[in-house]
Amino acid sequence: MIPIVFKYLTPKGYRGVTLFPFVIAKNKEALLDPVFVNHEKIHLRQQLELLIFPFFIWYGVEFLLRWIQLKDRRRAYYAISFEQEAYSNEKDFDYLSKRTFASFLKFVAI
């Protein structure tokens, strides 16, 4: 994980974004928050599992499908399987050590 503080690469309303191997935070305080860092580390693992580029394709397609389905951009974001896994486990600091391969699939809903 390579942390970077750069508010202009962070989408409005979010604290950060992960683009392997970088975690780009809106401000330095975000990088000091262990829950935020753990959430982003989960995304790093997801990106590695899908060999980085396919992760972003899947993420984008799933977001668009959820947006069409839910008709709400914010709800669509929270419905993405990658986000569900990260938010569900961001406070479990041992999660990555016990996480199995492709655990985000447990959160895929049709």
| pLDDT averaged over 10-residue windows placed end to end, the chain, 110 residues | 94 94 96 98 98 98 98 96 98 98 91
pLDDT of residue 109: 81
pLDDT of residue 110: 63
pLDDT of residue 35: 98
Question: What is the model's pTM?
Answer: 0.94
Determine phi and psi for 98, rounding to 5 degrees.
-110, -5
pLDDT of residue 71: 97
Q: Which residue reads 């790093």 in tokens?
A: 44
Q: Which residues contact 62 (CB under 8 A, 6 or more apart)?
A: 80, 81, 82
**Residue from 80, 77, 3, 14 nearest 46 by CA:** 80
Length of the chain as a residue count: 110
pLDDT of residue 11: 87
